[in-house]
Amino acid sequence: MSERYLFTSESVSMGHPDKVADQISDAVLDFCLKHDAKSRVACETLVTTNLAVVAGEITTSAPLTVGAIQQLVRDTITEIGYTDPAMEFTAQTSNVISYVHSQSPDISMGVDVGGAGDQGMMFGFACDETKSLMPLPIHVAHRLVENHAAMRKDGRLKFLRPDAKSQVTVEYNMDGTPHRFHTVVLSTQHDDSVMTKVDGKDTFTDAARQLIIDKLIDPTLRAERADLIKGKLVMMTPNKPDQKLGENDIPCYINPTGNFLVGGPHGDCGLTGRKIIVDTYGGRGRHGGGAFSGKDPTKVDRSAAYVARYIAKNIVAAGLAKQCEVQLSYAIGHPDPLSIWVNTAGTTKAGVSDDRLVALIRKHFDLTPAGIIKSLDLRRPIYKETARHGHFGRELPDFTWEKTDKAELLKKDA
């Protein structure tokens, strides 16, 4: 029996095509909520070569004209960093098309009286692997693309372009504690200043790969868990399968195909809601299947997933379990959850059971859509920031679901 196991999670940058779409959809949502806190929004976006299509069901008193939508799209694309016409997708060159109409009255009749905006099940998760109470692989993967964006924007790595993906593999002990960083993958779009010829083919330079390791990957790993770096970070050169590694060395695969000149929406069509595992826990725990971006908080796909994270985080912060997964389920038009389920994988504090945690949840959390919206203050224009670098694990002032303000209460009542 193996003494250890591996687990991998990935994240994508703010310039990844699907994240571009998510940020546009949430920019539309924020605009509506800024002008009308009771806006009903279900906004979807498609982006491809010099084209953005915005569609959905929106009922609002906000001045959401076609011109307003076009400006929101262009402002978001500019903020992300698609400004060079060579990338074939920019704020100024892209055609923006809008197909928006009002929400179905069949849905409204249930939501208007406080019911859930859809049926389904939602999950929340927390564990004690990181200060953010997030699983370590997804937490570090997020920090890599977040730092990638910062270094691209401030010019520390001038050759970077907005599209990027990260992937982090952690080796765990059999008791579930992290043992070491095992492997890192980072693919990043770049300009042609870091290209060279190898065997007659254009390829990304090894010098640029080493810069990414030295300036981005190594500092990020050290800032999060320096104790888990137990060997050297080794650049893995494409098409050299015979590279030797020490026992605890960390192989770093940077643009492993050879180069990444064509990227963003020009390289791959982007759609709202396609990165649901990136948006949550990187594959740890379960996922109900519903996406977040572009949905106002009456949609329990989003708000109930946020409150499930809030519950799980407070349970772990209270020391009642080392990890906690929470499931909530709803019926459209019905306010109260149909079920509450908790799984702590046998990590509860002595004398505390999963059933006891369910009872505490019922007592201390209002899980009706109206109760969730009120307790987490969700009718605010706070959502575009969630659409990049993860919805969970960042203690930003607007991310109310990351608070641990109920931990002491739960601890005392357990």
- What are 100-156's pLDDT values in tens digits? 987 666 656 556 656 676 788 999 999 999 999 999 999 999 999 999 999 999 999
CB within 8 A of 227, min separation 6: which ones?
A: none
| 64 found inside a domain | yes
Same domain, 144 and 8: yes
Same domain, 282 and 400: yes
How many structural domains comprise the chain?
3
Same domain, 141 and 255: yes
| 268 found inside a domain | no
Q: What is the pLDDT, as a whole number, of residue 207?
A: 96
Q: What is the pLDDT, as a whole number, of residue 198?
A: 85
Residue 50 is part of a domain; what is its CATH number? 3.30.300.10
Same domain, 315 and 357: yes
- Tell me the pLDDT tens digit for each residue of 157-202: 999 999 999 999 999 999 999 999 999 999 999 999 999 988 888 8
Same domain, 360 and 316: yes
| 213 found inside a domain | yes
Residue 335 pLDDT level (bands cut at 50, 70, 90): confident
| 292 found inside a domain | no
Same domain, 175 and 99: no
pTM for the structure as a whole: 0.95
| 356 found inside a domain | yes
- Structural domain harbouring 227: 4-12+136-262
Residue 121 identity (one-letter amino acid): M
| 270 found inside a domain | no
| 131 found inside a domain | no
Same domain, 8 and 23: no
| 267 found inside a domain | no
Same domain, 385 and 302: yes
Same domain, 255 and 166: yes
Same domain, 191 and 229: yes
Same domain, 244 and 189: yes
Same domain, 252 and 343: no
Bridge partners of residue 295, in order along the sequence: 42
